[in-house]
A = this chain, B = another copy of it.
Amino acid sequence: MKKLAAQPLYKQVIREVMAAVEAGEWQEDESLPSEVELGQRFGVSQGTVRKALDALVAESVLYRRQGVGTFVAGMSDFLMRGRFALLTDPKGEVPKIELLGCVKIHAGEQLAEILGLRRGAALWQVRRLLRVAGQIVGLEELLLPEANFPELEMRRIRELKGNLRELCWRDFGVRLQDGETRYRAVCAGSAEARLLQVELNEPLLQLVRLAKDFSGKPQVWSVAWLKTEELAFEPSVSA
């Protein structure tokens, strides 16, 4: 492998491996060739392959099992990684997701800019409710450009048990990369207050994230609102 554009070798390896994963060269939970073999394939040493795989493991594109191999990771959902626990019942609970609806809206100025679209472009708005032990604890709203996700339907979302990452990949060929999450405190607006069954202006923890595909193109804008009055939320270390 040559030094192109002054890019370090390990970054080139990241791109190559990522491309192979996207091309479906190895299936989910199927093991990649060993680090040594990958090194031979790309003409770099095992250490360099390892550094590249480290990055992809950190992004949870891959996972490793010592003594066994490196595997293509399944895709868990992209928002709401973390521990949730009700204060009244402080066990580590996995929240249940309830799909509320999927409607078509049009992008306002800000949203259009964020997603790199023209103003007024069609978007899917998907809303989901989060419950822990039956109690409503959060609301998630996702916005996806209709152009990239034609004919997105509730039925299809439901079939995948709410795993939108996998849906984007399987049905639309869009492989999402986790973006960074911004944490904010906001007041409940009318829509949030109604859906979360809280008072207007009640403070909520807001998580905002822009997920891009691996070419860097913005694909999904997601916002979540969490009730933190009775809920302990601790962001996860990653996957």
Task: Tell me the A residues contacting B by CB distance below 8 Å.
Answer: 180-187, 201, 203-206, 226, 228-229, 232-235, 237-238
Contacts and interface: CB of A to CB of B under 8 A. Distances in A.
Given A185-B185, A185-B204, A203-B187, A237 B238 contact: yes
Contacts of A182: 228, 232-234
A228 B186 CA distance: 8
Contacts of A180: 234
A50 to B, nearest CB: 11
Contacts of A232: 182
B181 A228 contact: no
19 contacts: A181-B234, A182-B228, A182-B232, A182-B233, A182-B234, A183-B205, A183-B228, A183-B234, A183-B235, A185-B186, A185-B203, A185-B204, A185-B226, A186-B228, A187-B203, A201-B201, A203-B204, A235-B235, A237-B237
A196 to B, nearest CB: 12
A45 B186 CA distance: 49
B183 A183 contact: yes
A135 B226 CA distance: 27
Given A182-B228, A203-B203, 14 more contacts: A182-B233, A182-B234, A183-B234, A183-B235, A184-B205, A184-B228, A185-B186, A185-B203, A186-B203, A186-B228, A187-B203, A201-B201, A205-B205, A237-B237
